[in-house]
Amino acid sequence: MEEEKTVPRWLSALTGVVCAIALVVFVVTLVIRVIAGDAGGMARAMSYYAPADETGLPADEYAAVADMMTGYLTGKRETFAYTLVDTAGEEYEAFNERETAHMADCRGLIRLDKRVCALSLVIAAAALIFAAAKGADWRIFGRGGLIGLAVVGAGALVLVIWALVNFDGLFITFHRVAFRNDLWLLDPRTDLLIRLMPERLFVHLGEKGALPAAAGVVLVTMGFVRMKFTCPERSEGRTDY
């Protein structure tokens, strides 16, 4: 008589929690990467939320500036610089040292996002492989996944409520947490970057990313619901003769 080797129910549930949270992190960070690299979308957003008559940047320069920005953020370009020509025919740099230094910090965040995206996918895959290899109870694994999704959902709900009640507070808190300096405090009178990317543009980008992120989370949720309610239940203490 050989006793079947399986993992405890609590470990099946914990593995499901870890897998679910990792998958949500993967979805969100992937969406951020896609938006950060979308030059066309960035150009359209800047043209709409920061029109030429407010920024002083000629309308026909928007596409090239957006391409430079997104290319720099995603590592396709090594420098954050754009040259303009004034009415006297003299060339000058569109962005000053403070703006350039801040964008270097932003590029660091996108690099971190890329690493977290890859790591979260590895963790999710490892959790699934571990569960399969150790004979986890997939119903319990699915229940754990739903618990993990509920925890993430609660956190997301808090952020949404915060944004609705006090978006400025959320925006400022994010910058204070994400950056270890005050370079993000730009002056619209002197800094083109803040004129091109006002607060309402970030609201738009958040809304734009929310739909695909939500769709991805729904698919993840459906997967865990299927596990919990359709996978065969494991018999406790089952033996093979």
Domain ranges in the chain? 2-228
The whole-number pLDDT of residue 234 equals 63
What confidence score (pLDDT) does residue 238 get? 44
Inter-residue contact 198 to 50 (CB < 8 Å): yes
* Per-residue model confidence (pLDDT) at position 240: 37
What pLDDT is recorded for position 1?
39
d(CA 213, CA 156): 12
Burial of 140 (0-12, 13-18, 19+ CB in 10 A): buried
Can you give the length of the chain in residues? 241
- Using alpha carbons, select from 58, 115, 52 the residue that is nearest to residue 83: 58
- The pLDDT value recorded for residue 13 is 94
Q: Are strands 91-93 and 83-85 parallel, antiparallel or unpaired?
A: antiparallel
- Residue by residue, pLDDT tens for the chain (241 residues) are 344 556 788 999 999 999 999 999 999 999 999 999 999 999 999 999 999 999 999 999 999 999 999 999 999 999 999 999 888 889 999 999 999 999 999 999 999 999 999 999 999 999 999 999 988 899 999 999 999 999 999 999 999 999 889 988 998 999 999 999 999 999 999 999 999 999 999 999 999 999 999 999 999 999 999 999 887 766 554 433 2
